[in-house]
Amino acid sequence: MARTGSIGSSPPPWGVQYTLCLPTEDAARRAAAELAAAGHRLAAIRAHGHAPDPALTGWWQVFSLAVHTGHDRLALEPFLRHERIRMAGLARSHGGFHQGCAEGHASTLQAIFTRDGLVHERASAEVAPPAPLPTDPAPPPGWGPRWPGPASPLPIRPEDVVRAVVAVAERMYGGADDAPDAVGWLLEEDFAFREPYESTGEFLGDLADAVAHQGDCTDDTVEAVPFLAELARDGGVPPAVRVTVLGDLLRLAATGASLAVLAADRVAALGDVWQERADVHMTRRAIGRALPRLLARWDEEGDAARFVLAALAAAASDGAAAGLVPRLKDLPAPAGSPRADTVALIAALLADDEPGLATALRRLTSWRPAIAERTATPHAAPRQLALAVLPDLVMEDAGPADRPGPLAAPPTPRL
């Protein structure tokens, strides 16, 4: 049922503008015709400009506007997710890839739609969602036993966390001049006298962003990995914070796989071979070098930290931690729970078990539609798909409730 915006009124029409990138003008015209036949209100094609992306010189873009009425945006999400998957499939069928989409009130998007190259216009066309609207599947009952501490809001004062983190930085580097750029700010005099943080999550978010701006790796990230690893194993750092830092390391270790999945359709369409950027590769290698010391704390850590550690080993060990698989059975992950599905994915990654990986991904996509969308491309390897979704699965369960953090979203590709 549609939710009305006010008594007796329906929500305003919602619009989505899709952008497809295709190899030829003919392919662009065929795709635009299909979109128009499916009820898109506007469709335009234009030659791709070479300045922002020289690899696409000679390619064509299709811009289309789909309008949906009678439903608010939240109710439309399962349907729109299916539409995004369908748009990517349509682009692949014409030899190209889906470049992205933008959403907003249909009247606004229609008013700003660039009509250069317009090939189809139907003034009142709509793409009607099915009735009833699709809904997301329910997850299996219960994530599993709650972790002690980290799954709840952090019961620690931010000033205590800052003090513990700075103590590790002082022990490792002595002063700001000898610390990596991503860490040096913690040791500067101005930092010591700044306004105190209102929450632990705010501070940890600043730390994560200093190490990996907007979640992406740089040369500074590589240099900061030993510091993050020391935080994650330092007994003076509260356990919940160590879990968070392990989660940040996990996201960094999975950055290459996330970028590969995001770019998979484009790489295939261009006939290229995916190559991991040097800074991303070196970040993962640095985490791999730190991993043995982190795993040495396995018996001392709580279950939440072990859960994240196992995922980190799967992402950064390059198969060297397969012996960890038998120890996963000690994690509180009841059969049939969402956590059990994540543990099965970790076990398959650690053991390089391709059939097990396929089974775990199939199980997860059956109840996690966002994962189904991220793994819909046929051009990414199963291991890349698994690693791309692993950090969100793990930290949604084990991470603190007060900080999703800047590393929570996949990084924007720099190709």
pLDDT at 153: 46
pLDDT at 407: 35
Q: What whole-number distance in Å separates Cα of residue 184 and Cα of residue 175? A: 7
Closest CA relative to residue 335, chosen from 186, 107, 140, 152 = 140
pLDDT at 152 over 50: no
pLDDT at 314: 97
pLDDT at 193: 82
H or E element at residue 21 = strand 14-22
pLDDT at 8: 53
Query: What letter would DSSP give residue 6?
Result: B
Query: How many angstroms separate the Cα of 97 from the Cα of each of 17, 214, 359?
Result: 15, 24, 27
pLDDT at 168 over 90: yes
Q: What whole-number distance in Å separates Cα of residue 348 and Cα of residue 67? A: 42
Tokens of 171: 């022990």
What average pLDDT does range 178-196 have in this prediction? 91
Query: How many angstroms separate the Cα of 43 from the Cα of each of 20, 79, 89, 115, 236?
Result: 11, 21, 18, 8, 59
pLDDT at 336: 87
What does the pLDDT look like over 247-274, one tens digit per residue? 999 999 999 999 999 999 999 999 999 9
pLDDT at 192: 79
- Range of lowest pLDDT (102-116, 283-297, 401-415): 401-415
pLDDT at 413: 44
What does the pLDDT look like over 378-390, one tens digit per residue? 999 999 999 999 9
What does the pLDDT look like over 211-237, one tens digit per residue? 998 888 999 999 999 999 999 999 999
pLDDT at 143 over 80: no
Average pLDDT value for the chain: 90
Q: What is the percentage of the chain residues whose pLDDT exceeds 90?
A: 78
What does the pLDDT look like over 298-342, one tens digit per residue? 999 999 999 999 999 999 988 778 899 999 998 999 888 889 999
Helix (H, G, I), strand (E, B) or coil at 97: strand
What average pLDDT does range 115-132 have in this prediction? 96
Q: What whole-number distance in Å separates Cα of residue 173 and Cα of residue 125? A: 64
Categorize the per-residue pLDDT at 145 as very low, low, confident or very high, splitting at 50, 70 and 90: confident
Contact present, 252 and 225 (Cβ < 8 Å)? yes
What average pLDDT does range 41-52 have in this prediction? 87
pTM score, two decimals?
A: 0.90
pLDDT at 409: 42
CA quadruple 182, 184, 190, 196: dihedral, nearest 10: 60
Q: What whole-number distance in Å separates Cα of residue 120 and Cα of residue 413? A: 32
Helix (H, G, I), strand (E, B) or coil at 62: strand
pLDDT at 396 over 50: yes
